[in-house]
């Protein structure tokens, strides 16, 4: 008797074909076999690294857990090429010398495109270390070029301005005079001195005589007279008068207090208040919550923030955010992105490729910091951005992003953790025998489609940003701010995924952040 098997109630699934297993628990088809990636965990964190590795494998990329001979591309986040190379060599991973060392931006752009995009200069982490012999040799064959022989643009966005200023004796004087005009709220002369100082900062050779000023823009007779006096006397009497004036000294102190602007400083000066001691002794003086906390933690906030402390803050914030938004992009901006080793605060820009997800990031982060006892003060400003509004006409206009100005309790042990990653250790001030330091931090949230504009705007310097917007208006008939770029001739908004796209729209050569120290 033949027994007939009844039909299966549940269709039998075919066993999936094993295509690739790259040290992962899951199998994904490898679409791009010529590329083998390795994501460096240093400064990225294990949870974010695991998330990105899984995401890449789903897109068809081959990603190794360990650095093997087959690896062709090493991807790092918030590391310089030197840092990556040094760390890999210390771990005896010599394979790094034959691999492409790339910034995380290349990887994230590949994820968005769904395939390996072309590697551009901006994606590559450059190794800048040069042997002393080679440096001396090149110096002997390349003497400094006189500034008068080189065309210098009146726009800072067309000048490569390095971090190192070789004309500080002149630029410091001009900056002091500009600051004094700012305290008097006299915008015209202030802008004139700032522009002149910016030109001198971009020069590749020191000014030693008045002939070196020939052909330089934005240097009027008044400024040339100041420079000539410094060349001949080594100082400027006008600058010394400003530094010794009671009003200038009072404004320097008062405006250094968190939450105090020019109007408040002027009001307090009229009341006879000149110093912090004056503020503390006047019991009936009404201070805002921001000003009270600024006064309470003044010594910490007024001191410099080291690059290592800034890295520790970024690491803390990124770890918190990536716990609930693993694909968030968290970037230090401001002076630290331009290559500075010290600053007054830490500016962090935050976004997410998934539309709308960024809206809850700030409040979730604040809640975690609050629960950890890290928040000494915070003030959240909600977004007031209008998508239909054109960019502001003012070169000094503020943006409308959701942001939080806070004072963070940074633990000494967190900074010491960064010490193991960097030789340039700068310790916290231990004068009060406590294990933490109050640090000023700004958290800024931006939609991903506006991220390039926000990154450009928050990287600075202020003079670079002013000239960039001025150039857009005067030379290209466009309007630029931290949100968008608008072409007034075509009456359209110009899209940009990267800073390079914005420079290209404006017809400008791209300047790296380290070249924007105007």
Active site residues: 345, 347, 442
The answer, yes or no, to whether the previous bond of 461 is cis (omega within 30 of 0) is yes
Q: In which residue are the tokens 């940009």 written?
A: 496
Q: Are 225 and 211 in contact (CB under 8 A)?
A: no
Rounding to the nearest 10 degrees, give the CA dihedral for residues 272, 274, 278, 284: 50
Tell me how crowded residue 107 is: count the other CB atoms within 10 A of its CB. Answer: 24
If you compute the radius of gyration of the chain from its CA atoms, what whole number of angstroms results? 27
User: CA 91 to CA 282: how far, in whole Å?
Assistant: 59
State how far the Cα of 394 lies from the Cα of 191, in Å rounded to an integer. Answer: 14
Distance CA 30, CA 12 (A): 26
In sequence order, the 6+-apart residues with CB closer than 8 A to the CB of 202 are 152, 156, 159, 160, 161, 518
**Exposed, middle or buried by CB within 10 Å (0-12, 13-18, 19+), for 345?**
buried
Rounded Cα distance between 167 and 202, Å, is 9
């Amino acid at each position: 008797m033949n027994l007939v098997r009844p039909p299966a109630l549940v269709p039998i699934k075919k066993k999936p074909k094993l295509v690739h297993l790259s040290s992962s628990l899951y199998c994904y088809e490898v679409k791009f076999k010529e590329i083998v990636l390795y994501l460096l965990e240093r400064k990225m964190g294990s949870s974010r690294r695991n998330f990105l590795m899984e995401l890449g494998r789903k897109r068809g990329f081959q990603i190794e857990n360990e650095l093997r001979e087959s690896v062709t591309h090493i991807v790092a986040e918030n590391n310089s090429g030197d840092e990556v190379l040094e760390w890999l060599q210390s771990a005896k991973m010599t394979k790094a010398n034959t691999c492409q060392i790339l910034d995380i931006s290349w990887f994230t752009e590949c994820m968005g495109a769904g395939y390996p995009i072309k590697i551009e200069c901006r994606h590559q982490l450059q190794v800048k270390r040069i042997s002393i012999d080679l440096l001396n040799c090149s110096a002997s064959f390349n003497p400094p070029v006189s500034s008068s022989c080189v065309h210098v643009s009146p726009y800072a966005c067309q000048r490569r301005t390095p971090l190192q200023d070789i004309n500080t004796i002149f630029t410091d004087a001009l900056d002091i005079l500009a600051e004094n005009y700012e305290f008097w709220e006299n915008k015209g002369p202030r802008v004139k001195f700032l522009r002149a100082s910016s030109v001198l900062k971009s020069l590749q050779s020191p000014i030693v005589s008045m002939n070196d000023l020939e052909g330089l823009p934005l240097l009027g007779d008044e400024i040339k007279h100041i420079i000539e006096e410094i060349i001949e006397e080594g100082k400027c009497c006008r600058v010394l008068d400003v530094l010794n004036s009671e009003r200038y000294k009072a404004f320097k102190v008062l405006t250094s207090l968190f939450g105090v602007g020019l109007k408040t400083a002027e009001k307090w000066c009229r009341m006879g208040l000149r110093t912090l001691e004056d503020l503390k002794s006047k019991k009936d003086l009404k201070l805002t919550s921001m000003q009270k906390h600024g006064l309470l933690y003044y010594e910490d906030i007024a001191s410099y923030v080291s690059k290592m402390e800034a890295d520790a803050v970024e690491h803390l914030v990124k770890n918190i955010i990536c716990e609930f938004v693993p694909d968030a992009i968290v970037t230090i901006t401001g002076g630290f992105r331009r290559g500075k080793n010290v600053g007054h605060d830490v500016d962090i820009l935050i976004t997410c490729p998934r539309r709308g997800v960024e809206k809850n990031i700030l409040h979730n982060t604040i809640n975690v910091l609050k629960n950890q006892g890290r928040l000494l003060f915070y003030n959240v400003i909600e977004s007031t951005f209008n998508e239909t509004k054109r960019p502001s006409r003012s070169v000094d206009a503020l943006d409308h992003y959701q942001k939080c100005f806070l004072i963070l309790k940074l633990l000494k042990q967190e900074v010491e953790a960064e010490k193991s990653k960097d030789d340039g250790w700068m310790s916290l001030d231990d004068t009060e025998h406590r294990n933490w330091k109050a640090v000023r931090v700004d958290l800024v949230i931006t939609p991903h489609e506006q991220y390039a504009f926000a990154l450009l705007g928050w990287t600075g310097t202020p003079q670079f940003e002013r000239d960039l917007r001025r150039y857009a208006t005067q030379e290209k008939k466009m309007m630029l701010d931290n949100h968008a770029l608008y072409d007034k001739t075509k009456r359209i908004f110009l899209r940009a995924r990267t800073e390079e796209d914005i420079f290209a729209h404006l017809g400008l050569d791209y300047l790296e952040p380290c070249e924007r120290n105007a």
